[in-house]
């Protein structure tokens, strides 16, 4: 059994096994340091920021959290050029000793190409497990600074922010009668692949030596080594934050250019219909007329990007009127007779139906219940993404298209049977609704149904937008984020306050893995014995499956 030797950093500790690590303590200590970094950044004490970042990146607590992140996310089974994965507890424990700055040299990235929606290929660089963990470690020190200095209306790849915030900001800026009418839809050409290394090294507030090593590590493609002269690799954990910092400042530049002082209240200022909403490298800029966008704003944006080695994509960048509408993040935003309506885009609907049809076509011979289990998570995810906009008619149409495809699937399985026989076998009357694709179960005289989720059953709700200046690393905002998380959990529990109280009693964590239970993490309720009494508890769905599998194997 290996004992971990820790550095002299004040947050260091010792542990002999992966299972014995106190994760709550690790998270608490790291959050304290991140809060101190935010405070120092707000006070302009840049020397202190660097000192705290050094302490954090040499902390035992931060190292184990970095390793846990790369061994529990979706890429945990994808290796780099060294073909090494950290699956066993011993491998994770030994990895803690390897996360050292001294003598560290990253290995080249493993380059793969993934297909984009327009048919083109996007290069993806896959670092090794060790390089991913080192990036996750240094990201913990960089992200608090990035959040403190970021543009207020930047919503992509940022903690506690999502597309819903960006879309709701579009509604705020465009829904009124006096709102701007013209929109510049901006898209940066190969943003991740063309960022200037010189600009990054001179402007990113982190360890410059480490950053340079990651930027210049090269990549391997078809067993051949290539150098990296520009850009930050897509696939790196720290890359989205680097791209965000690169584009931060665009909002400030526009505000300074178009800022006007209120004559009746000199302390107040306003911006004449020029607003920026950005999600990663996609952004929209509003204006009162087309000429301002073409003659003033567009040249400013191009100059801003040119300094950073970036250019606008001529193919995707265009100027449109609000009455014609525009697509942004999978939504269509348009005014109909003066009323702004936000709907799922036609491209988004087409992609959703193609995915469902693909699942059904690829599983023509599986049991009905298995097909339902494959379809429901996809339907639920799409519904949750769009349930805050105008979707009633869209959801009804999607339900009809799914029904047609499932009927085709059912008829194909029984070519010698009539339509009525097939309908009676696969479609049932569930809670007063006929023609529901469902499996009937009978147990102890009780009849239950497991059915395909209907999109139109989802209630459309108004989205609660995040306050634009909220910082999740700042202790001043802790009460706000706690209240927001409780509200989101209440919505996830369909308004059942008893579930929220159960969640609070468990300190908002899964009783198996100890990880936080959030709206975004699938969870369910089950029962367990405690001191001879049965009580209900909340589990992550994945933890529950793992526990059932372990019990089945006799572990």
Per-residue pLDDT reduced to its tens digit, 185-233: 998 988 888 999 999 999 999 999 999 999 999 999 988 999 988 888 7
> pLDDT for 496-513, tens place per residue?
888 888 888 888 888 877
Helix (H, G, I), strand (E, B) or coil at 533: strand
Residue boundaries of the structural domains of the chain: 346-451, 475-553
Whole-angstrom CA distances from 293 to 93, 98, 305, 319 are: 55, 52, 16, 8
CA–CA separation, 60 and 66 (whole Å): 10
Query: Which residues neighbour 345 within 8 Å (Cβ) at sequence distance 6 or greater?
Result: 327, 330, 331, 332
DSSP string, 331-350: EEEEEETTEEEEEE-HHHHH
Q: Tell me, what's the pLDDT at 264?
A: 61
DSSP, res 162:
-
Pairwise pLDDT comparison (145 vs 448), residue with the higher score: 145
Residue whose pair of structure tokens reads 């006096």 in the numeric block: 178
**Would you say residue 462 has pLDDT above 90?**
no
Rg (Cα) of the chain, in Å, rounded? 26
Half-sphere exposure of 245 (CA within 13 A, CB side): 24
**Would you say residue 529 has pLDDT above 50?**
yes
Assess contact for 279 and 257: CB atoms under 8 A. Answer: no
Assess contact for 122 and 114: CB atoms under 8 A. Answer: yes
CA–CA separation, 277 and 284 (whole Å): 5
> pLDDT for 50-78, tens place per residue?
999 999 999 999 999 999 999 988 888 99
**Would you say residue 5 has pLDDT above 60?**
no
Q: Tell me, what's the pLDDT at 512?
A: 78
CA–CA separation, 220 and 81 (whole Å): 8
The full length of the chain comes to 555
Query: Which residues neighbour 10 within 8 Å (Cβ) at sequence distance 6 or greater?
Result: 55
**Would you say residue 549 has pLDDT above 60?**
no
Residue in 497, 499, 501, 513 with CA at minimum distance from that of residue 546: 513
Assess contact for 372 and 363: CB atoms under 8 A. Answer: no
Q: For residue 451, which phi and psi values (nearest 5 degrees)?
A: -120, 165
> pLDDT for 152-176, tens place per residue?
999 999 999 999 999 999 999 999 9
> pLDDT for 396-453, tens place per residue?
999 999 999 999 999 999 999 999 999 999 999 988 888 999 998 887 778 889 999 9
CA–CA separation, 457 and 430 (whole Å): 13
Q: Tell me, what's the pLDDT at 270?
A: 61
CA dihedral 449, 450, 452, 457 (to 10 degrees): 60
Half-sphere exposure of 160 (CA within 13 A, CB side): 23
Query: Which residues neighbour 470 within 8 Å (Cβ) at sequence distance 6 or greater?
Result: 160, 477, 480, 481
Assess contact for 110 and 125: CB atoms under 8 A. Answer: yes
Give me the mean pLDDT over the 478-487 stretch: 91
- Among 83-97, 263-277, 434-448, name the one with the lowest average pLDDT: 263-277
Q: Tell me, what's the pLDDT at 441?
A: 86
Residue in 69, 84, 193 with CA at minimum distance from that of residue 143: 69
Q: For residue 488, which phi and psi values (nearest 5 degrees)?
A: -65, -40
**Would you say residue 271 has pLDDT above 70?**
no
> pLDDT for 286-319, tens place per residue?
999 999 999 999 999 999 999 999 999 888 899 9
How many secondary structure helices (H) and strands (E) does the chain include? 20, 18
Strands 219-221 and 109-115: parallel
């Amino acid at each position: 059994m290996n004992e971990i030797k820790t550095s002299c950093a004040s947050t260091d500790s010792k542990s002999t096994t992966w299972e014995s690590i106190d994760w709550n303590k690790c998270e608490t200590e790291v959050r304290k340091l991140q809060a101190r970094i935010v405070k120092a950044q707000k006070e302009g004490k840049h020397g202190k920021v660097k000192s705290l970042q050094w302490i954090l990146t040499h902390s035992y607590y931060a190292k184990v959290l970095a390793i846990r992140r790369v061994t529990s996310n979706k890429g945990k089974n994808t290796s780099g050029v060294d073909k090494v994965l950290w699956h066993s507890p011993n491998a994770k424990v030994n990895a803690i000793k390897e996360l050292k700055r001294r003598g560290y040299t990253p290995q080249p990235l493993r380059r793969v190409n993934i297909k984009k929606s327009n048919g083109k290929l996007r290069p993806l660089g896959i670092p090794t497990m060790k390089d991913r963990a080192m990036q996750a470690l240094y990201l913990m020190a960089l992200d608090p600074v990035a959040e403190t200095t970021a543009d207020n209306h930047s919503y992509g790849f940022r903690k506690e922010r999502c597309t819903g915030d960006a879309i709701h900001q579009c509604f705020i800026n465009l829904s009124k009668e006096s709102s701007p009418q013209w929109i510049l839809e901006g898209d940066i050409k190969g943003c991740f692949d063309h960022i200037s290394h010189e600009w990054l090294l001179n402007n990113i507030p982190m360890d410059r030596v480490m950053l340079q090593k990651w930027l210049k590590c090269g990549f391997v493609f078809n067993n051949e080594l290539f150098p990296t002269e520009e850009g930050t690799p897509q696939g790196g954990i720290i890359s989205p934050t680097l791209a965000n910092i690169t584009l931060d400042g665009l909002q400030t530049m526009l505000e300074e250019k178009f800022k006007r002082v209120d004559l009746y209240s000199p302390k107040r200022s306003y911006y004449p219909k020029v607003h920026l909403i950005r999600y990663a490298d996609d952004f929209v800029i509003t204006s009162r007329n087309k000429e301002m966008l073409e003659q003033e704003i567009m040249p400013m944006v191009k100059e801003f990007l040119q300094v950073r080695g970036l250019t606008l994509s001529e193919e995707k960048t265009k100027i449109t009127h609000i009455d014609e509408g525009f697509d942004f993040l999978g939504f269509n935003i348009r005014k109909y007779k003066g009323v702004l309506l936000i709907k799922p885009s036609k491209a988004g609907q087409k992609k959703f139906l193609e995915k469902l049809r693909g699942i059904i076509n690829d599983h023509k011979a599986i049991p009905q219940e298995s097909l339902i289990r494959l379809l429901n998570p996809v339907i639920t995810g799409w519904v949750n993404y769009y349930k805050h906009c105008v979707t009633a008619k869209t959801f009804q149409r999607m339900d009809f298209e799914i029904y047609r495809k499932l009927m085709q699937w059912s008829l194909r399985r029984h070519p010698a049977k009539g339509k009525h026989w097939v309908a009676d076998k696969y479609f049932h009357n569930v809670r007063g609704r006929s023609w529901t694709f469902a499996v009937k179960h009978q147990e102890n005289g009780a009849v239950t149904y497991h059915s395909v989720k209907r999109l139109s059953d989802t209630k459309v709700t108004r989205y609660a937008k995040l306050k634009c200046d909220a910082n999740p690393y700042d202790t001043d905002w802790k009460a706000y984020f706690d209240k927001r998380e409780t509200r989101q959990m209440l919505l996830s529990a369909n308004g059942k306050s008893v579930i929220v109280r159960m969640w609070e009693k468990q300190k908002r964590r899964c009783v198996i893995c100890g990880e936080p239970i959030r709206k975004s993490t699938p969870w369910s309720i089950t029962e367990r014995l405690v001191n001879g009494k049965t009580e209900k508890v909340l589990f992550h769905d994945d933890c529950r499956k793992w526990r059932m599998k372990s019990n089945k194997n006799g572990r």
